[in-house]
Amino acid sequence: MNISRARTIAFDVLLRVAKQDAYADDVLRAELDVSVKSEDAGLATELALGVLRWQRLLDFLIDRYLKNPADVADAEVRIALRLGIYQIYFLDRVPAHAAVQESVELVKRARKRSAANFVNAILRKAAKESFPEDSPADIVARLLPAEMPLAERLGIQYSHPTWIVERWIRTFGEERTRGLLPANNGVPVLSGYLLDLQRREEATQSLRKAGCRVQPGRLLREAWVLQGGNPSASEAVRDGWVAIQDEASQAVACLVVVDPGNVVLDLCAAPGGKTLLLSRAAGAQGHVVAADLHENRVRTMKERFKNAGIRNVETMVLDGATPIPFERPFDRTFDRILVDVPCSGTGTLARHPEIRWKLRAEDLGDLRQRQARLLRNALPHMAPGGRLVYSTCSLEPEENETVVREVLTTFAGTFQIADPRMGLEGFLQESVHAGDLVGADHFFRTIPREGGTDGFFCAAIEWRKA
């Protein structure tokens, strides 16, 4: 039996995530080239990301049929079972027999032929017991013991680690957490923006040719929402006319409020999506320094700018967590600075579902220390009258407002948190108000369930006025 290309791609992506600590989005982007049909690209993406989002629930369903969960020690066998169970319980359009048979063939393809009968037996049992009229989360809820602690119950039902559910209940309360968990398992909106404004019609046609429907942004006036198709295979994306980026991420660059002619520092710039927006706003007379810690990422970013025809960006390898060498002979200050720090990524769990299985509670402390160093080192390089934006794609307070407040106290009142609403209003759709995104504390926040975007945090910082 031939295995569909979509399933082999999904299996290979999941195996690389499990064995090589890869990120599914990166592997999918590399795999889904122009040779992959649009329908295969869609199913491969659905299978790979769907299995990662629902991994804990899928394992709960699988383990019900095992005398000992350790019986499935091989990653290849576990992944084949997850793919089969996911199709049986989540995909109405896939016949159960096809899900079973192709999962068996995937095991054989992975040179685990001895497990083929085992996989076949497990998935046939699951196919007989599935209840298509009920959601998988509802089915699992009925199977869980009534005395199970709430965080563990919700963690299994909505496929999140218990420790994340526990901290979100403490931080956001039970009601908001119950909304956030299923939002992280939904398919996120795919957004982008037109970088080359002279190619609007050409870019639109290219995306449509790749099977994409182009809709106006939900949050920002200049954003596009892309539905269906394989945008990565379009000429518009390949040649850099259009950049794929979540609208909340685009909003971060808007909050920097770059004016034509500004000198700008993007301290943690890779992969460069926000840098492109900063570059466009700075114009031909402006200059952007795009720095990153990793030389390979800087090389890739530099190539991206070259392909997009960007000429006002200077790239450099730089560890912003150490004192930044913008003294002599550089002798630079910057009108605008973006410090988009490495973070836990808990605002992007729908888009990058593997994060929830990689992240550990103790990682937050290490991240917080690095984030504070990055912000502390960047602030002295802001020109008088300038503006710095600190941002994360995290929902965790210790990576966000706690870092900002603690760092600012070390500067003895030199800097202040600015209200970003005035700078943001001009970028928003008419139906969206800046006050919906900026709290009374002047921090910008988006929440996946509430805004239809990834979860982002931003603080705008300026020199304190006398």
Q: What's residue 466's pLDDT?
A: 65
Residue whose token pair is 């994060």:
355
pLDDT of residue 3: 84
Cα distances from 334 to residues 257, 258, 421, in angstroms, run 13, 11, 22
Give the pLDDT of the chain (466 residues) as one tens digit per residue.
678 999 999 999 999 999 999 999 999 988 988 788 888 988 999 999 999 999 999 999 999 988 877 667 799 999 999 999 999 999 988 889 999 999 999 999 999 999 999 999 999 999 988 666 678 988 899 999 999 999 999 999 999 999 999 999 999 999 999 999 999 999 999 999 998 888 999 999 999 998 899 999 999 999 999 998 888 889 999 888 999 999 999 999 999 999 999 999 999 999 999 999 999 999 999 999 999 999 999 999 999 999 888 999 999 999 999 988 775 444 578 999 999 999 999 999 999 999 999 999 999 999 999 999 999 999 999 999 999 999 999 999 999 999 999 999 999 889 999 999 988 988 999 999 999 999 999 999 999 876 689 999 999 999 987 6
Q: Which domains does the chain have, with CATH numbers?
A: 5-143 (1.10.940.10), 190-244 (3.30.70.1170), 253-463 (3.40.50.150)
> How many other C-beta atoms can be found within 10 angstroms of the C-beta atom of residue 33?
12
State the pLDDT at residue 20.
94
User: Which helix H or strand E contains 383, and what residues bound it?
Assistant: strand 382-392
pLDDT of residue 160: 98
Token output for 190: 């795919």
Distance, CA of 117 to CA of 121 (rounded, Å): 6
Distance (Å, whole) CA 435 – CA 433: 5
**Catalytic residue IDs:** 393
Question: Cβ contacts of residue 197 below 8 Å, gap of 6+?
Answer: none
- CB-based contacts of 226, cutoff 8 Å, min separation 6: 190, 191, 192, 207, 212, 213, 214, 215, 244
CB-based burial, 175-207: b 16+ in 10 Å, e otherwise: eebbebbbbbbeebbbbbbbbbeebeeebbebb
pLDDT (tens digit per residue) in 385-444: 999 999 999 999 999 999 999 999 999 889 999 999 988 988 999 999 999 999 999 999
The burial of 217, by beta-carbon neighbours within 10 Å (0-12 exposed, 13-18 middle, 19 or more buried), is given as buried
Global pTM value? 0.93
Classified as helix, coil or strand, 409 is helix
Looking at every residue in the chain, the average pLDDT score rounds to 92
Number of H helices, E strands in the chain: 21, 12
- Selection from 148, 171, 168, 170 nearest residue 160 by Cα: 168
Residue type for 218, please? R
Show Cβ contacts of residue 66 under 8 Å, excluding neighbours closer than 6 positions.
72, 122
